[in-house]
Amino acid sequence: MAVPETSSGRHVAVITGASGGIGEAIARRLSDRGWLCVLVARRRDRLEPLARELGGEFEVCDVGDREAVERVAAALAERHPAIKLLVNNAGIPGRSSFLELEPERIEEVLRVNYLGSVWCLRAFLPALERARPADVVNIVSVAGTVAFPPAGPYSSSKHAQLAFSRASAAQLRGRGIRVHTVNPGFVETEGFPQRAMLRNPVLRRLVVGPDRVAEHVLSVLERDRAETFVPGWYRAAAIAQAFAPGLLARLLARRGGYRSSQKEEATRVDRL
């Protein structure tokens, strides 16, 4: 039996990586529109006051831990049998190459950025189906369409997440669940301090804030757009990758690196 709303008449949205940055910005906008937002992240100290401020709920969870995600989904199902929207936003950086980044970090980047979205969709799918029509927004990245050598592990994790998002979009549309892929470019957040980390001054000028992405996400939901870039002109990078992959990779390897891979550990606030 479909239960599209809570007893208070508010639609329920689950947002991962909601303790700051893009996730927080999306939660604020949805709350302003009357949604009940369930904030999911690792940092209770950030989640609890934000949920209180927004009149929402929170769950402490590392989305890279499949069993933890399943426990959270089961707990939420008791309170909210139907979930109208899932936003897979949680992610962590990997600001170094495959040859330099620690093996444990490479595994973590793949587990959180790619598998985290998979585990969340699988775990929350029954609740999404009870709320049909429902939506899933996967916050992927332009890095998922372009091989970015200075952050190879991160780029690879986003390539995998992009393939997952496209595949699930095709599979779930017929089941009443719309899957939207949002590919931001460089976004300045606490866990992703792009302006400080990027060496190339041209790339630094392309950095946008999380509010820009949040506004875009709401527009995507309203207009039912399948795959988008924010800002839109980042699509040109994906086209360049398709037509001249070798040339683009060499250019990015030479001109697009981060200032120091040693800052990786110092800025591991992430999007969790």
The tens digit of pLDDT for each residue in 146-203 reads: 877 778 899 999 999 999 999 999 999 999 999 999 999 867 666 555 544 555 554 5
Does residue 30 fall inside a structural domain? yes
Provide the pLDDT for residue 261.
43
Does residue 210 fall inside a structural domain? yes
Provide the pLDDT for residue 89.
97
Look at the alpha carbons of 256, 262, 267, 271 in this order and tell me if their dihedral is positive or negative. positive
Name the pLDDT band for 4 (thresholds 50, 70, 90): very low
Residue 80 near residue 6, CB atoms below 8 Å: yes
Count CB atoms within 10 A of the CB of residue 57: 18
Does residue 256 fall inside a structural domain? yes
Q: Which residues contact 29 (CB under 8 A, 6 or more apart)?
A: 214, 215, 217, 218
Task: Name beta bridge partners: 138.
Answer: 88, 181
Provide the pLDDT for residue 2.
40
Amino acid at 258: Y
| CATH number of the domain encompassing residue 36 | 3.40.50.720
Look at the alpha carbons of 112, 118, 123, 127 in this order and tell me if their dihedral is positive or negative. positive
Does residue 7 fall inside a structural domain? no
Does residue 227 fall inside a structural domain? yes
The token pair at 80 is: 């909210």
Region of 98 please: left (phi>0), alpha (psi -120 to 50) or beta: alpha
Q: What is the pLDDT of residues 68-89, one digit of tens each?
A: 999 999 999 999 999 999 999 9
Q: pLDDT averaged over the chain?
A: 85
CA atoms within 13 A on the CB side of 156: 16
Provide the pLDDT for residue 6.
57
Residue 197 near residue 268, CB atoms below 8 Å: no
Catalytic residue among 114, 154, 234, 258: 154
Name the pLDDT band for 270 (thresholds 50, 70, 90): very low
* pLDDT, average across residues 21-29: 97
**Cα(219)–Cα(32) distance, integer angstroms:** 15
**Cα(32)–Cα(10) distance, integer angstroms:** 12
Count of domains for the chain: 1
Residue 163 belongs to domain spanning: 12-261
Does residue 124 fall inside a structural domain? yes
Provide the pLDDT for residue 163.
97
Count CB atoms within 10 A of the CB of residue 1: 5
Helices first, then strands: H and E counts in the chain: 12, 7
**Any catalytic annotation for residue 154?**
yes
Does residue 85 fall inside a structural domain? yes
Name the pLDDT band for 262 (thresholds 50, 70, 90): very low
Does residue 1 fall inside a structural domain? no
